[in-house]
Amino acid sequence: MEISAGTKFSSWQALNDTVMGGRSSGKCTVNPAGLEFNGTLVSEGGGFISARSPLYSPPLDLSGYQGFKLEIKGEGRKFKLAVGCADGLGGITNLIPGGLRWVTEFSTGVDGISSVDLPFSTLRPSIRAKPVGLPLKFDTTRVNRLQILHSKFADDGGLNPGYRDGSIHWQLIRISAYN
């Protein structure tokens, strides 16, 4: 099931570390080939750039699928996919600063398009790049936001060995759910 491709990324927006006092910058543009992100990473005071979808309303029901498939040009960098879910608890997890997200990492090739399969089973609960050690279960029926990040932090809370300051360019061609 295609979630977004080409000009369907038009409502995605950049969200960078400036929301927490950082100095990284970047912006999204959309063309028929997909979503392009151009920016500059500065680790001092932050260290991340991202592009995120609008809130899906109603949430996406991906219960018939096994995971996400991304087609991305990523300069050989390691990225994270962060997935937001409507919590069914009256929005209480949205009160957590930074929100609860389900996160998994993936690597990209230096050249060309990388096709990446991310099984739902690899998603781990996280709050602001820190793993949550609670027995939570990813709800495939209530996916309400997707975000692609390049951060100085890995999904285990340690440092991302593929991170580097300076200019960054990546392109998300397609994101879909596979079964």
At 99-113, the pLDDT tens digits run 789 999 999 999 999
* DSSP line for 133-176: -S-----TT-EEEEEEEEESB-TTSSB-TT--SEEEEEEEEEEE
**Mean pLDDT for the stretch of residues 103-126:** 96
CATH number, domain at 18?
Answer: 2.60.120.430
Whole-number percent of the chain with pLDDT over 70: 93
Mean predicted lDDT score pLDDT of the chain: 91
Q: pLDDT value at position 59?
A: 95
pTM above 0.85, yes or no: yes
Confidence of residue 162 (pLDDT cuts 50, 70, 90): confident
For 162, the domain range is 2-178
The total domain count for the chain is: 1
159, 70 in Cβ contact below 8 A? no
Could you report the per-residue pLDDT of 4-16, keeping only the tens digit for each? 999 999 999 999 9
The Cα-based distances of 123 to 27, 40, 99, 117 in angstroms read 26, 27, 15, 12
